[in-house]
Every structure is written in structure tokens, then in C-alpha cells.
């Protein structure tokens, strides 16, 4: 059995990556054509590059927060009770507490 060198594996991996990316490239059409397709109810998937999609006003920014150990234990206990992750619980409580923007 013939083994490949690290550089040939890297080339093969990069080629596979590029081929995979090439398959996902959205077709280019004008805005008017896109609007007409949307109005007609056609499938817009071939025309949308989902890797660049964003929900306006919903961009994410990572933050670090230090919690006292006792509070963190209480958060974890409550998160387990309602069946969500720690992060989801914190988001839920903050969104319930804060007024809508």
C-alpha cells in the first residue's frame, strides 16, 4: 500500500474543500429576477448563499461573564429542571427581564 506524504494529503483535502464549496455557490440573477421568482413562489434556494445570511438585529457577540459559584449552581439546577442548557437559561431569563428594544 502506497502512503501519501503530508503535502499530498493537504492538496487532496484542499481540492475536496474547493469542490465542495463550488457546489454551494449561488447562481447570479438580478434583483428584479429574484423578486419575480419570490412573488411566484418558486424555490429560491439555488439563488441564495446561506453562508452569508444574517438576521438583521440578531448578530451575535460573544461575552464573558463571571458568576459567583453559588449563583452558577442555582442557574445550572434551574436549567436542568426546565431542560435547557446553561446558556439558553441565561438568555431566557435576560430576555424575560429586559424590555424589548
pTM for the full model?
0.47
Contacts of 78 (CB under 8 A, 6+ apart): 89
Fold of the CATH domain 59-101:
Arc Repressor Mutant (1.10.1220)
**30, containing H or E segment:** none
What average pLDDT values come out for the chain (101 residues) when binned by 10 residues? 54 56 68 92 88 81 95 97 96 92 69
Amino acid at each position: 500500500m502506497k502512503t501519501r506524504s503530508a503535502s499530498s494529503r493537504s492538496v487532496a483535502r484542499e481540492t475536496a474543500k474547493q469542490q465542495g464549496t463550488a457546489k454551494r455557490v449561488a447562481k447570479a440573477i438580478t434583483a428584479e429576477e429574484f423578486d419575480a421568482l419570490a412573488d411566484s413562489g418558486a424555490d429560491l434556494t439555488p439563488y441564495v448563499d446561506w453562508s452569508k445570511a444574517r438576521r438583521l438585529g440578531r448578530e451575535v457577540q460573544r461575552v464573558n461573564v463571571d458568576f459567583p459559584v453559588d449563583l452558577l449552581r442555582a442557574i445550572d439546577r434551574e436549567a436542568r429542571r426546565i431542560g435547557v442548557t446553561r446558556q439558553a437559561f441565561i438568555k431566557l431569563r435576560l430576555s424575560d427581564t429586559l424590555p424589548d428594544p
